Amino acid sequence: MLLGLAGTAVAVGQAFCIAAALATALATHRADLAALVGFGLLALLRAGLVWASERTAVAAGAASRRRLRSDVLGRLLHAGPTALRQRHSGDLTAIVVDRIEALDGLYARWIPASTLAMAGPLLVLAAALWADPVAALVLGLCGFMVPVAMAVAGIGAAAASRRQFLALARLQARFLDRVRGIATIVLYGRAEDETAALAVAANELRQRTMRVLRVAFLSSAALDLAAALALVLLAIRYGLAILAHRLADPQTALSALLLVPEFFAPLRAFALAYQDRLHATGAADAMLDLPPMPEPAPPREVRTVAARGVTVAFEDVRLTWDPARGPALDGLSFRVPADETLILAGPSGAGKSSVIEILLGFVRPDSGRVTINGADISELVPAALSRLTAWIGQRPVLFASTIRDNIRFARPEATDAEVEEAAHAAQVTEFAGLLPAGLDTMVGEGGFGLSGGQAQRVAIARAFLRNAPLLLLDEPTAHLDPATEADVLDSLRRLAIGRTVILASHSAAAHDFSGRRLDLRQGRAVAAAARATA
């Protein structure tokens, strides 16, 4: 702001220097050395100011973006998997990446430009007043047009900009979805159709963007009009005045004309930044829908639970994901004593996964109580809960990295020996041994390079490494052939010793897992048969 104002002041000084030099030349056909030297010195100063103000603008934008991005990402991570139930991961990524980048304009340009937009023109106006009050009046009147036009244009533009942001995020989610499923599209021979559909979506975004810009450009046009009007009016006024010999010294005329661009320069920056601001408002509005900041830890001391001996109990638990589809859990009650195994059986959609998601803290039950060693699960902070649990899901997410790093994800501080032990226990070493780089073989996103069974075994290795007292297994052997399944179940049985286990599975082999069996149908226990087949 101060740098900008100083820049304007220097520019005003230069305008007077040029005017003086030209006036001297007109009058005496000689160069006005003092004015020229003054001009040169001011030029150096001005270049320095341009350099400095560009740099401060970037620094200001960077700091605010860093703060905001941590805040938004923290909120989304805190909300956890529930955030994904309403929104596509591509949409969330667009918020964290693009929308926050869009806010840069707000901090780097809008805030400095909006403060300078008043002070800068006022400074020039004061200079013009001193040179020629009529010129100041013309400038002032033309300048006044600008904010009025901008306000009128801005009302429509803000709404259009919000809608445009929504379209942009949707398009990104769509891109991501199609990119992930590209193989499916190509193998069904639908690449051309999808490309055409994408073209339609891309065109729609263009139309939305242009709708925003058409209005935004109107405010720029108003500015151009004001600047041209001021220049033409002043040129004609001075031309006539000189002809009528009402103005003896052309210096006044020249400096007033040269002040016109300087007067409008801050306003021009303001108009440009105004577009940034519209953009930023659209981006910021989208963030209002985000989950709130994590609350500070509950006032009550979080119950600590022993590392061994975890008892889990469900008491009349009800959960509905989507009212239209009926309850997923409908008054479910059961109790798993410490170090025992519960097998959840039943067809897919019976509620097995919902039980596990509640225990993982991904979702809270609508009613009823879920307790771990007597402590209500809702009183445990997520970190405390996750320390207690190891989990193997139906669709383990593998990251693009080495097999070793993917296993280590479960416990980053684990030593290499511990990772290798876990890999061995989960029979990862068996297939990794055949790969050129062993455990350091790179896998692609989603486990590319590994078969479904191999990816599952990496997930099992994670659970081994996690070494937590409560083991949650959601169809851990769904993609394994019988021989591998038997081996993995063997490892899991070993892992289960001295831990509480909840296993959701419909595989017949898994039911050889020693433990109590609970049959689920439509979110209810139908028959609990105690089986002890140790």
Partner 1 sequence: MKELGRILALWRGRAVWLAAGLMISLIALGAGVGLMDVAGRTIGLAVAFGVLAAPLALRALGVTRVVGRYLERLVTHEATFRALADLRVWFFRGLAGSAAGGLGFRQAGDVLARLVGDVEALDGLYLRILVPLAGAVLLLPGLILLLWGVGADAALSVGLLFVLAAFVLPALSARGAAAAGGRLATASAGLRIAALDAFTGLREVRAFSAEGRMLAAVQAREANLLAAQHDLARRTALAAALALLCAQAAILVALLAAGAHPAIAVGAVFLVFAGFEAANALPRAGALAGHAAAAARRVLDAAEAPPPVIDPAAPAQVPEDTTLRFDGVHFRWRPDHPAVFDGLSLEIPPASRVALLGPSGAGKSTLAALALKLAAPQQGRVLLGGTDLARLPASAVRQRIGWLGQTTHLFDDTIRHNLLLARPDADDPALWAALEAAQIASVVRDLPDGLDTWVGEGGTRFSGGQGRRLALARALLSPAPILILDEPCAGLDAETERAFLSTLNEAAEGRTIIMIAHRLVGVERLDRIWRLSAGHAVAAAS
> C-alpha angle with apex 402: 385 to 450, nearest 5 degrees?
95
Of 293, 507, 499, 300, the closest CA to residue 394 belongs to: 507
Interacting residue with partner 1 among 2, 34, 85, 307 (CB under 8 A): 85
**Stretch touching partner 1 by CB under 8 A, among 114-122, 159-167, 242-250, 277-285:** 242-250
- Relative orientation angle of helices 416-425 and 482-496, to the nearest 10 degrees: 130
- Token code pair at residue 118: 């008043």
User: Computed over its alpha carbons, how large is the radius of gyration of the chain?
Assistant: 35
> C-alpha angle with apex 248: 246 to 254, nearest 5 degrees?
105
Smallest separation, CB 300 to partner 1 (Å)? 21
**Stretch touching partner 1 by CB under 8 A, among 51-59, 283-291, 306-314, 366-374:** 51-59
Distance of CA 154 to the CA centre of its chain: 26
The answer to whether residues 335 and 525 touch, using CB atoms and an 8 Å cutoff, is no
C-alpha distances out from residue 511 to 435, 506, 508, Å? 33, 8, 5
246 binds partner 1 per the rule CB under 8 A: no
64 binds partner 1 per the rule CB under 8 A: no
**Sites for partner 1 among residues 424-463 (CB under 8 A):** 431, 434, 436, 442, 444-446, 448-449, 451-454, 462
Q: Closer CB to partner 1, residue 44 or residue 151? A: 44
- Token code pair at residue 372: 């771990």
520 binds partner 1 per the rule CB under 8 A: no
Smallest separation, CB 528 to partner 1 (Å)? 19
Interacting residue with partner 1 among 155, 183, 497, 530 (CB under 8 A): 183
The answer to whether residues 138 and 234 touch, using CB atoms and an 8 Å cutoff, is yes
Q: Closer CB to partner 1, residue 101 or residue 416? A: 101
Beta bridge partners of 370: 314
- Token code pair at residue 60: 């200001």
Smallest separation, CB 161 to partner 1 (Å)? 14
Site string for partner 1, 279-318 (x = CB under 8 A): ----------------------------------------
69 binds partner 1 per the rule CB under 8 A: yes
Q: Closer CB to partner 1, residue 411 or residue 499? A: 411
198 binds partner 1 per the rule CB under 8 A: yes
- Helix, strand, coil percentages (3-state) for the chain, rounded to 5, are 65, 10, 25
**Sites for partner 1 among residues 147-176 (CB under 8 A):** 172-176
Smallest separation, CB 417 to partner 1 (Å)? 20
